[in-house]
Chains A and B, each alone.
Chain A
Amino acid sequence: MFDTLASSVAFGVVLASVIAIAAMGFTVQFGLTNVLNLSYGGVMTIGGFVAYLATSHGISAWYGLALGAVAGAIVTLLLGRGVFRVYARRGAKVFEMMMVTLGLGLVIDYSLQAISRNNIYQFTVLQSAPIKWGPIILTPTQVIVIAIGAVIFVALEALLRLTKMGKALRAMAADAALARACGIRTGWVINFTWLLSGALCGLAGVVYIINTQSVGYSTGELFLPLVIAAAILGGAGSPTGAVLAALLMGIVTQIVAAYGGSLYSTAAGFGILVVVLLSRPSAVLTKQATDELAL
């Protein structure tokens, strides 16, 4: 009984690490630019495919992680400057922008389907004997996933709290117009936001496929609901909130999977989403949220 609980909590932490990396990127992007980016899942998949291509050409998986992050950063910056800003300049508000990202997500997903020939590719790296620690048995890959999540979290918090750029980011998230009036170069900050959130997104894509050991065109899109739910539950713009929400969702999903069968674990994700809606009126109420995009 206790053993099942302990091991499902451990698996939950693994899943939470993957969700958290993606949700941190999502929440930074969303908190700053106010773009609810539904093409985020597609960019995750791009990161995953880049890492897959790299490792299948004999490049180490560690470099694959870095390459996935770089790809995510570049793609997100290009989309941010080349697509989202164009719509924002033409007067799109948050809702119209979400619809744009929905179309963009479709374009990315099905382009990837066309390129990948609708196949699912095996991605097995860093395999070795599992590590036992009491009732908890984890593969080294899973331990690495947790470690990456923890390192990213600490690094992101340090960046936001200790550097000047972090200060500018927080200032802009609080009030973009005021930040500009105070002399913060908001254009640079936005560019940095696209790069940072894109890198986290690409990295999350690679970590996700390292964990599930396969990659297909819809990998990121199917994972996106958990990411968005974590970002909303944690509060837009708050990496700490995103991590806590990811831990809650990851552990609950895995405990349900362990006790109620894997069928219901998706339903549990659904349940958490309902709880998100009912429990955080402050996050989802119309009144406080602005309708304007900060691009």
Chain B
Amino acid sequence: MSAWSFYISTLVVYFAVDLMSGISLNLQYGYAGVVNLAYIIFQAVGAYVAAATALGPSTGPASFQHYIFGANLPFPVPLLLAGLAGGALSAVVGVFSLRRMRRDYQGAVLLIVTLIALQVVTADVGLFNGSNGLTGVPQPLASGLGLGPLAYQWTYAAWALVLCAGLYLVVRRLSRSAWGRALRAMRDQEDAATAIGLNITVLRLQVFVIGGVIAGLSGGVLVEYIGAWSPGAWGYAESFVIFTAIFVGGLGNYRGVVLGVMLVPIIFLELPRFLPQVGYPGLMDSLEWVVIGLVWMACLLFRPRGLLPERRLVANRDTSDLGALTGRPRLARVLGRTLP
């Protein structure tokens, strides 16, 4: 029974991490229409920073693993630094990739950035120990809490869920604010949004950086749980799983994100473990990705708006509450304030 309990608690942690990613990508793509195909590098940088700042100082090139930012910081600090790193990298990448250009170009550029980041980190052993990656990351407060392994597992799972719920509340508040309405205005009618005085470039950069902070945090939570991180964990295909999840679930609403994350990364990638192994070892892993690609393509063909599409938002009848106005209100009210 305890093996099952262990396994389920692991799934809960993965679910929380994937849900954070889903929330982040849904904010970026579902609400703002910014396609972040480089998502995984922001998660990766968070994981690396959290790992390096918890592992202690690097002991030099001759040692077992070699990395930058080595420090031995107490528990919540590495996680916060992970969020900061995700945000900072997003700002850098965003500044040159979010220029006004065709969205297919933009997607391709971000994908290329992922591939290049992967090559640089793999090749440059001095950064984060190259292709071997970092390992032996201590679990936060493992000794301080004085819990058994199984109790610790569940405590960590609960902590991940709490963090995820907190992020959800913050992001939901953001997406329902005037700023969130501005994001949707930008997504649906970019020219009209510009015309009413929204600064598209700044909005895009803001949503990119906020998503990047969440990505970094999710990477930190993940690496403090599994204890190791290497380029194998963040291939370009990994961004895809989360994208497939929010596409399948439905964009622009949170029920869709939860459903998608339940379906794709959890059920879909975990179920094959219980199927009988076919062929040589590793065949199942390859086929999993083939199926992810096919699900993605089928979803784009048959349900391009997902299983739970964004509801068509209409203005609240109770006009005394202008803050509740959503959908296609008069342009001035999109901003939640009157225009000069």
**How many angstroms between the C-alpha atoms of A267 and B240 in the bound complex?**
24
Check A229 for interface membership: any CB of B closer than 8 A: yes
How many residues of chain A have a CB within 8 Å of chain B?
A: 48
Q: Mark A264-294, 1 if CB is under 8 A from B, else 0.
A: 0011011001100110000011100100000
A284 B99 Cβ-Cβ under 8 A: yes
Q: Which of B265-273, B282-290, B317-325 contacts A (4 or more CB under 8 A)?
A: B282-290
Q: Mark A76-114, 1 if CB is under 8 A from B, else 0.
A: 000000010011001010111111101111110111011
What's the least CB distance linking A220 to chain B, in Å? 12
B112 A273 Cβ-Cβ under 8 A: yes
Check A166 for interface membership: any CB of B closer than 8 A: no
B300 A96 Cβ-Cβ under 8 A: yes
What's the least CB distance linking A236 to chain B, in Å? 10
Going nearest first, the 10 A-B pairs with the smallest beta carbon separation are A106-B293, A107-B293, A114-B286, A110-B289, A284-B101, A103-B296, A98-B104, A225-B112, A95-B103, A103-B297
Task: From known contacts A87-B300, A286-B100, infer whether A222 and B119 are also in contact, taking CB-CB under 8 Å.
Answer: yes
A90 B301 Cβ-Cβ under 8 A: yes
A228 B108 Cβ-Cβ under 8 A: yes
- List of B residues within 8 angstroms of A94 by Cβ: 102-104
How many residues of chain B have a CB within 8 Å of chain A?
A: 42
A103 B293 Cβ-Cβ under 8 A: yes
Q: Which of B123, B280, B292, B293 touches A104 (beta carbons < 8 Å)? A: B293
**How many angstroms between the C-alpha atoms of A87 and B104 in the bound complex?**
15
Q: Which of A106, A222, A278 touches B237 (beta carbons < 8 Å)? A: A106
Task: From known contacts A90-B301, A229-B112, infer whether A106 and B296 are also in contact, taking CB-CB under 8 Å.
Answer: yes
B75-116 interface with A by 8 A CB criterion: 96-97, 99-105, 107-109, 111-113, 115-116
Check A118 for interface membership: any CB of B closer than 8 A: yes
**How many angstroms between the C-alpha atoms of A106 and B37 in the bound complex?**
14
A102 B301 Cβ-Cβ under 8 A: no
Task: From known contacts A107-B293, A110-B287, A114-B287, infer whether A263 and B123 are also in contact, taking CB-CB under 8 Å.
Answer: yes
What's the least CB distance linking B175 to chain A, in Å? 22
Check A180 for interface membership: any CB of B closer than 8 A: no
Main secondary structure of the interface of A (DSSP, over half): helix
**How many angstroms between the C-alpha atoms of A118 and B113 in the bound complex?**
24
Q: Which of A97, A103, A109, A225 touches B116 (beta carbons < 8 Å)? A: A225
Check B196 for interface membership: any CB of A closer than 8 A: no
Q: Mark A98-136, 1 if CB is under 8 A from B, else 0.
A: 111011111101110110011000000000000000000
What's the least CB distance linking A93 to chain B, in Å? 9
**How many angstroms between the C-alpha atoms of A104 and B298 in the bound complex?**
11
What's the least CB distance linking A20 to chain B, in Å? 18
B105 A266 Cβ-Cβ under 8 A: no
Check A38 for interface membership: any CB of B closer than 8 A: yes
- List of B residues within 8 angstroms of A114 by Cβ: 283, 286-287, 290
- List of A residues within 8 angstroms of B293 by Cβ: 103-107, 110
A285 B100 Cβ-Cβ under 8 A: yes
Chain A minimum-CB-distance residue to B127: A263
Check A21 for interface membership: any CB of B closer than 8 A: no
**How many angstroms between the C-alpha atoms of A274 and B92 in the bound complex?**
12
**How many angstroms between the C-alpha atoms of A266 and B117 in the bound complex?**
9
A273 B108 Cβ-Cβ under 8 A: no
Q: Can you offer 7 A-B residue contacts whose CB atoms are under 8 A? A: A86-B301, A100-B300, A103-B294, A106-B292, A110-B288, A111-B290, A284-B101
Chain A minimum-CB-distance residue to B119: A266
What's the least CB distance linking A189 to chain B, in Å? 22
**How many angstroms between the C-alpha atoms of A104 and B304 in the bound complex?**
16
A107 B104 Cβ-Cβ under 8 A: no
Check B120 for interface membership: any CB of A closer than 8 A: yes
What's the least CB distance linking A121 to chain B, in Å? 16
Check A242 for interface membership: any CB of B closer than 8 A: no
B104 A113 Cβ-Cβ under 8 A: no
Task: From known contacts A87-B300, A106-B289, infer whether A267 and B120 are also in contact, taking CB-CB under 8 Å.
Answer: yes
- List of A residues within 8 angstroms of B35 by Cβ: 95
